[in-house]
Structure 1
Amino acid sequence: MSDRSYLEEISIRNLGIIDSSSLELSKGLNVLTGETGAGKTMVLTALSLLLGSKSDSALVRHGCERLVASATFSIPASLNTIIEERGGFIEEGSLVLSRTVNSDGKSKAAASGTTVTASALAEITEPLIVIHGQSANTQIVKSSKQRELLDLFAGPSLSEKLNQYLLVYAEYNQVKAKLKSLLVHSSERDSQIASLEALTQQWSALKPVRDEFAAIEEEIRRLASVEDLRIAAAGAFAALGDEDAGALTVLGTVRKFLEGAKGKDAALDEIASSVAESFFLADDAHGTLASYLASLEADPKRLDFLNERKAAITAFIKKWGSTGSVDEELAAIAIRVKNAKETIADLSGGQERITAMEEELKVLKTKLLASAKALNAERVQAAEKLGTLVTKEISALSMPHTIFHADVISVDFDGPLKESDFTPTGCDEISMSIQGHRDAPKVALGKGASGGEMSRIMLALEVVIAASAPVGTYIFDEVDAGVGGKAAIEVGRRLHALSQHAQVIVVTHLPQVAAWADRHFVVAKDSDGQIVASGVTELDDQGRVGEIARMLAGLDESLSAQEHASELLALRNQ
């Protein structure tokens, strides 16, 4: 288990009825028990938030501003690259995740101190943890979920074949869409070619430059207002430089007066400095105005040229553009012109182009069929192996005569195939079923199994799949629902066996399951009539006897229940 990640600690504050709790978990089997309504599910809710689930302000404890959940995962070196590629940051072998939800519904997530989105949390934790909730038994009856489980069990070999199939599938659909477009537009091909050729010819003749239109408008405004600009600049030049009353003359006089008292008063020196700075700025402006006046001259020919150029660009945009700004439309048309040559080639090819593409599509169809067959063969082999292993597991879970089947239902690859037969997951449907005994008919999951049997079948699948898809942490939320007696003991035994290879966290009401725990936590609720607070406590050996006795008889002080509890706890050491 050293090459697998595991959840070291989870801390919760202000979530539901939980005030503040912290669980320090270990690698083996961790069990959470407690009275109904004590808040066991809130622990899993906190984990779900940390795995990127949707936030809800109703989860925030009444009277509090926000809830906070955090978790620390121990990450082996073999997973560092995978986690960091997904946006996580490993520090000293640990990954720290946190999630806050405010009472107004706003949520914030972080991975190792860096703010991330909730979807990023989901991606980061995908290789680390699997939650088998109470809804899993309803999900497994769906064919898509059954295919997902089979593919997961089949491992890298099938994953490689599926990726190969997807590459060909994507290329096939791309060529098919392109061919369809050619066929649809073949009737209007000539007009499209003529339009594109006219566009490229007019573009070449106009030769527009990026952001040219805005520059033309700016220069037209300047040339059209030369006389107004001359009057304004000349007036300002005179006002600054007049020898008798110009601003420079006045500022110079003020400056001389102030310099006469320099060094006698700091406040006056500061004023003198400001006046001197104003004098120099005014002097610089005077010189710049002189240069501006020298360069300012009317250019009627240039103005006529610019107006003609503006009109030509405006007419071009009116014909070929849309409603955006002129420079934006020119940029968009530039892209169309750039692609026009290839588009014209596609359209000009006519029937020859269509025929060539049809031949290309046939070749791809052959490759797609071969990839689908290879994928199907891999699934058939994996399904047979999965059926054998799960049957063995459910036999150990007090279902000795039940046979589990995973059948791959595929199309007739030797017969005519429809386009709809090829999907992003191949040409296969998966059907999982059980037989009550060897001569009994196959019955689909969900129709031939009780709730307790479905829970055990799902557990058996998780145990088998765990061997080929090594996730670090498995969480089971009341996987023992509908199970009791000897079957419950076997469920506990299988969970304990699974915990030898991966960390297992179980929420349970059954003492027969809790007895197998390596670490046992109890979720307890206190109420003073106004405030309800729930906390999580790890039990010592004596505490475990009392809690299991309570689960057995409802009385933790019952001597007979305690004796029975001790017997159950002894099973783990046999």
Structure 2
Amino acid sequence: MSDRSHLEEISIRSIGVIDQSSLELSPGLNVLTGETGAGKTMILTALQLVLGGKSDSSLVRHGSERLLASARFSVNKAIAEIAIESGADVEDGTLILTRTVNADGKSKAVAGGANVPAATLALLADHLVEIHGQAANHQIVKPARQRELLDRFIGGDLSKALQQYQENFNGFNELKARIKAMRESVSKRDSQIAELQEFSSAWIKLKAVRGEVASTNDQISRLSSVEDLRVAADGATQAIANEEEGSLTSLGAARRFLDLAKGKDGKLDEIAGRISEGFFLIDDAARDLASYLTSLEADPGQLDTLQSRKAELAAFLKKWGSSAEPDEDLVQLAAKAKNAKIEIDDLTGGDERIAELDKELGDIKKKLLSAAEKLTQVRAAGATKLSLAVSEEIHQLSMPHTQYSVSVNSPDYKGALKESDFTLLGCDEVSMQIQGHKDGPLIALGKGASGGEMSRIMLALEVVLAATHPVGTYIFDEVDAGVGGKAAIEVGRRLAALAKHTQVIVVTHLPQVAAWADSHFVVKKSSDGTVTASDVQALDAASRVEEIARMLAGLEESTSAREHAAELLAMRGQARK
């Protein structure tokens, strides 16, 4: 298996304008181009379905019963193990994910030949693909997403600090809830103590064992029916072992007759063998019946004892149990009895016990405060590194004066913190901002960047994050929105740089981006408006010149556009030498 997963092939049938299509993708930079409405985005829509996205019957092509999308991935050993644990089958490092959606809205997910919930596909997708589209631009302006990206960039150090913090956070809240419950129960403490003591004494006296109710009922049933059981067993014994009419006598006679012809006909010998086998089986059963009859004795004393025990168990369960199955009830009551002493100690300790727990709470709060401060320090250090790294990438994308800044805002740990300052993920608020020029103001990312700038910032983020948390395949849809000229060339250059280490798939309208492709696909519509298998083509060198020329000029036969296309492709070739 390779060290990095990648998407080898995606097959599509009856999705939107696409009748049927298949793309064989390669590692490196894969570019999809084509005229508006040709179905490029539908290919990504199909992939999102395969990766556990929400199914939508409106995607099913008109006149079709269902749509089908299938993706074949080459996966490494770690991802293969995750897939196998999820119930999928991985053969020779290949994992196939499939999704079907019926016209009535019902969907089906398959991973490696096994039916799985769509959520399983989404779980696997987290390890296989990172999709960046317009939705990502909307999501990144949210503080929670910004914190998530920073934490993802920091990695292991953050995970350790967060784990330590969450252990203290959960311990603090659990102890606080326990103290609150104790204070609320003071008024009814005496009755609770009396009830727990009564229950504990009754449980100790009962000395119940696991499964005792069912076992007692079985024994009572047997001892109450001794005579019926004896009649049944004796009758069966007579039917089998009677010297004149029993089945053993008849089978023995049949064996003797067949022995006279033994060896003269194989078919008859086979029948004789079966009769002989039946004889011995019934003979064994007859011996077991005789033994059973010998052991079958009435025991009125034991029956009375069992009846008394049954009544004792029933009375206990009626008072202390629930409506659950009796033996399950006993298991739950055993757990309650185990914790009864702790509960009694909590209650009998009263204010003194609450004071002890308050002291413990104070100690845990100090640890929580220290862990929160450590978490902030780790995030702040990571924020500085992320700011520098993304700014450097942005400068490579024709934004030389723009600075990217990540700030970590936290409460004053030396002051009086409110409990509301602490959340499961710490006390920090992460904010991503940009500075348009030197000495300019820092402006929130969602407010201070145009569409084209946001696309480049997101690309820069993905490139930086890929260095710390690489995913096998990155997919960019409309990453070039609002970008043109030199900036578009630099977007293509950074995508090509990213593709040196991982597979990149890009849907683009920009020839300056398409020129950097390792594999270039064009999606065309047939005359009837559909896309069939023959309408998704991998382009050779000559065809690429024609396609990029079309993207440049919008004309099929433009000489100047072809010359410009050839120049763009030559630029890409020189950059890779």
Residue aligning to 1:446? 446
Tell me the distance in 1 between the aligned counterparts of 2:272 and 2:386. 94
Matched, 1:99 2:101: no
Amino acid at match of 1:251: S
Change (3 A) 1:237 1:52: closer
Tell me the distance in 2 between the aligned counterparts of 1:174 and 1:288. 60
**Matched ranges for 1:445-524 at <5 A:** 445-524=445-524
Residue aligning to 1:7? 6
Change (3 A) 1:268 1:190: same
Change (3 A) 1:488 1:290: closer
Aligned residues: 566
- Report the 3-state secondary structure (helix = DSSP H, G, I; strand = E; otherwise coil) of the residue aligned with 1:324: coil
CA shift digits 1:519-565 (9 cap, x unpaired):
22212232457885564322122111111111122212211221222
Residue aligning to 1:108? 109
Tell me the distance in 2 between the aligned counterparts of 1:337 and 1:234. 48
- 1:282 Cα deviation from its structure 2 partner: 6.6
Tell me the distance in 2 between the aligned counterparts of 1:59 and 1:258. 76
Residue aligning to 2:25? 24
- 1:432 Cα deviation from its structure 2 partner: 1.9
CA shift digits 1:199-234 (9 cap, x unpaired):
232222222232222232233233333444455555
Aligned residues of 1:175 and 1:357 also touching (Cα < 8 A): yes
Stretch moving more, 320-329 or 224-233:
224-233
**Matched ranges for 1:115-264 at <5 A:** 118-233=118-233, 246-247=245-246, 251=250, 255=254, 258=257
Aligned residues of 1:200 and 1:340 also touching (Cα < 8 A): yes
Residue aligning to 1:314? 314
Tell me the distance in 2 between the aligned counterparts of 1:47 and 1:356. 58
Change (3 A) 1:318 1:414: same
Change (3 A) 1:386 1:39: same
- 1:477 Cα deviation from its structure 2 partner: 0.7
Change (3 A) 1:342 1:567: same
Change (3 A) 1:166 1:446: same
Amino acid at match of 1:109: V
Tell me the distance in 2 between the aligned counterparts of 1:151 and 1:287. 74
- 1:266 Cα deviation from its structure 2 partner: 8.5
Residue aligning to 1:73? 74
Aligned residues of 2:21 and 2:531 also touching (Cα < 8 A): no
Taking only aligned residues, the RMSD between alpha carbons, in angstroms, comes to 3.7
Residue aligning to 2:563? 563
Stretch moving more, 101-110 or 429-438:
101-110
Residue aligning to 1:545? 545
**Matched ranges for 1:271-350 at <5 A:** 291-350=291-350
- 1:26 Cα deviation from its structure 2 partner: 2.7
Give the TM-score, by structure 2 length.
Answer: 0.85
Amino acid at match of 2:326: V
Structure 2 gap segments, 5+ residues each: none
Percent identity, aligned pairs only?
A: 54
- Report the 3-state secondary structure (helix = DSSP H, G, I; strand = E; otherwise coil) of the residue aligned with 1:366: helix
Aligned residues of 1:38 and 1:534 also touching (Cα < 8 A): no
Aligned residues of 2:182 and 2:354 also touching (Cα < 8 A): yes
Select which of 59, 63, 84 maps to 2:81: 84
Residue aligning to 2:372? 372
- 1:408 Cα deviation from its structure 2 partner: 1.9
Residue aligning to 1:358? 358
Structure 1 gap segments, 5+ residues each: none
CA shift digits 1:471-513 (9 cap, x unpaired):
4432211111122233323322332333344432211011121
Change (3 A) 1:86 1:516: same
Change (3 A) 1:217 1:33: same
Aligned residues of 1:473 and 1:502 also touching (Cα < 8 A): yes
Stretch moving more, 353-362 or 188-197:
188-197
Aligned residues of 1:39 and 1:534 also touching (Cα < 8 A): no
Tell me the distance in 1 between the aligned counterparts of 2:521 and 2:467. 27
Tell me the distance in 1 between the aligned counterparts of 2:148 and 2:272. 83
Aligned residues of 1:86 and 1:123 also touching (Cα < 8 A): no
CA shift digits 1:344-403 (9 cap, x unpaired):
333333333322222122122112212222222232333334334434443443434444
- Report the 3-state secondary structure (helix = DSSP H, G, I; strand = E; otherwise coil) of the residue aligned with 1:481: coil
Tell me the distance in 2 between the aligned counterparts of 1:500 and 1:529. 36
Tell me the distance in 2 between the aligned counterparts of 1:284 and 1:83. 53
Tell me the distance in 2 between the aligned counterparts of 1:256 and 1:519. 80
- 1:48 Cα deviation from its structure 2 partner: 2.6
Tell me the distance in 2 between the aligned counterparts of 1:256 and 1:342. 73
Change (3 A) 1:470 1:394: same
Tell me the distance in 1 between the aligned counterparts of 2:337 and 2:487. 73
Change (3 A) 1:481 1:222: same
Amino acid at match of 1:419: E
Aligned residues of 2:108 and 2:115 also touching (Cα < 8 A): no
Tell me the distance in 2 between the aligned counterparts of 1:95 and 1:210. 48
Tell me the distance in 2 between the aligned counterparts of 1:405 and 1:254. 100
Aligned residues of 1:398 and 1:486 also touching (Cα < 8 A): yes
- 1:419 Cα deviation from its structure 2 partner: 1.1
Tell me the distance in 1 between the aligned counterparts of 2:111 and 2:122. 12
Tell me the distance in 1 between the aligned counterparts of 2:134 and 2:444. 20
Aligned residues of 2:39 and 2:531 also touching (Cα < 8 A): no
- 1:267 Cα deviation from its structure 2 partner: 8.7
Change (3 A) 1:415 1:298: same
Aligned residues of 1:87 and 1:120 also touching (Cα < 8 A): no
Aligned residues of 2:473 and 2:505 also touching (Cα < 8 A): yes
Residue aligning to 2:52? 52
Change (3 A) 1:444 1:312: same
Aligned residues of 1:19 and 1:535 also touching (Cα < 8 A): no
Aligned residues of 2:109 and 2:121 also touching (Cα < 8 A): no
Change (3 A) 1:185 1:86: farther
- Report the 3-state secondary structure (helix = DSSP H, G, I; strand = E; otherwise coil) of the residue aligned with 1:370: helix
Give the TM-score, by structure 1 length.
Answer: 0.85
